Structure 1
């Protein structure tokens, strides 16, 4: 006989709704009764097994969604799609953002192509999250923020069910290729039901936790949600703290090679912090050749890892995760720094596209780094702003002035991002 106490205990912590995979639910209650498999009536009404909730999207053998009755006004309960979220949801490992109709009329990186107020808020939220994020494109599937897309006119909600089913399979497959297995990861989706309905179950079956904080909200409420969940206002850090961090980030004698960094293991750098990357003389020549403009040996890039995210939530990212997994991890989709280097070096050598293996080897041969743990993740974003304002590293593009070198770098990133996408058979968008 099923024991519903564990389910009731889980639901007690759910503010809005939660979707449980069938196997998870079956194991939670110690085995679902036979009627749960054969009678739709089993899942109807406010039952003692889930008091205060109703069930929606019951997919026998796949998943069940429980929605708290008090979470929605009566009028909205009938009209709104079912959200999937847990209160106190785990911090995401990945963020997926839906595309929108309003676009530029020229090719541009995905992060810039879509111009609606909603997308801008979604993008800001995703960037503040401090984890890998991607755009869900109705035409191109899963798109990295820096991948260049040509304008297109396709709305996923206007396509056939067969198209959306194939689209969803392609998105989840591509996600696995780019980030690896999603089992155990939390995927936060900011998109309409036309998108989420065709990736949700596939992600759950692959072992991911799917969170949809905006599901069921009308447009005005969505925009308001981002206003309430933006990054907290953080005052600039004390000047002394910023000065100390700048001194440490610019102490080139303390810079270590990638091999030395990896040999330290995760424990020393399993914390938020700032880092700087340094290039040797021959590496600087390679970069200058690719950019067509002077690059001096020394510091070329600086950044952060693990800053407190939107809404004051703690990030799970660390210096180790950012540098080991993203910068040195072999996929430029994960790292704007890696994309910049790969694009410049491809231009320098006359290559048709970024060679990931050669790029990693070049980084090991020509770069050193300094990683500085910072205990206060809440002020880290403001600290980075102050640090970059003074250091002005040549390969940084955000929080620094535009100059001819950065304009050239942006153009190369668009060029080689586009070539990467074309070579993958995904089209030129």
Structure 2
């Protein structure tokens, strides 16, 4: 039995890690090409706008993972009608949140840019990038939602293919729009916005050929409130996991601007974009185990659930060793990739920052895996607590206190200190 479980684990996790690496190329490509075209100010603008992108992505994951995990449990119990209700209610939530982001971007992006801390030097660049991203929010949300359901419908390879195709197209379009077409920051944002549209085109044949086992149905008004609440309860942890990156960026940008100005923010932009790639690896691991744990939990196979959790934690440790080894020994090279102007001050901040910031790796992995585990067994409260601690209640005071005491070094240490504290808490909650 363990051979079958390990085979399924390897299949789902590898597909999802590859897909998430590809998805992280959205921000990698934008950062690389904008750095090459615009320089330090472009990096600063991207980093100021990224928190909103994280909120959009987090919202899509909240509805997608929250709904699809419940769908998977119901499907394993052969409750098809209720499972379809979950899909239908989830799609209605997507339309609601997509409308909010779209109209906010259309009418209020300038106010958001002011709140995010852009000065006159980078205001217009930041506003252009942010507005385009928010206008494409419906595509980002729907893409996340559909990929989660396709993955939980037993087709992780298609979900991965959609992510990789969308991300590869982003890299190609970034280059075309920024250099041959000279579209600057607008081109970077437009390429990123088109990527989820292309991803959904990859998924389209799955629905046209009617291979999916989830369908739209007439909403049950009696059950709608409870179903929606269940989707959101299970979806809050992945939302906060994704939003935590945005919160970290926003909070650190605000503090760094006061300590070292735009160059410090540009240095943090390098760390942020690498952080998004690192977190995507752990996210891929967690999204890979979620359908398997949900299915086995729904079928009452407790032993398989514990086996999957053990495989996940071991994989997380191995990932952390590899990731931190690469970062520690290659920090100068990683920084130089995004430092096209060879700014020595930026490098002096970013190189030691990378080595300190990513000591958080093992604790990030454990926290994300344990949070997903609780969601998958329909026990969302511990996952919500873990996510809230990581995103707000520990991180914010830690950042203020350590930056006040140690300046930029304190900024870099705030994140690993937070993840360590939350990890110690998470250990007490594991059933």
Fold match (TM-score > 0.5): no
Instruction: Using structure 1 for the length normalisation, give the TM-score.
Output: 0.24
**Which structure dedicates a bigger proportion of its chain to strand?**
1
Structure scoring higher RCO (CA < 8 A, sep ≥ 6) equals 2
Instruction: Using structure 2 for the length normalisation, give the TM-score.
Output: 0.24
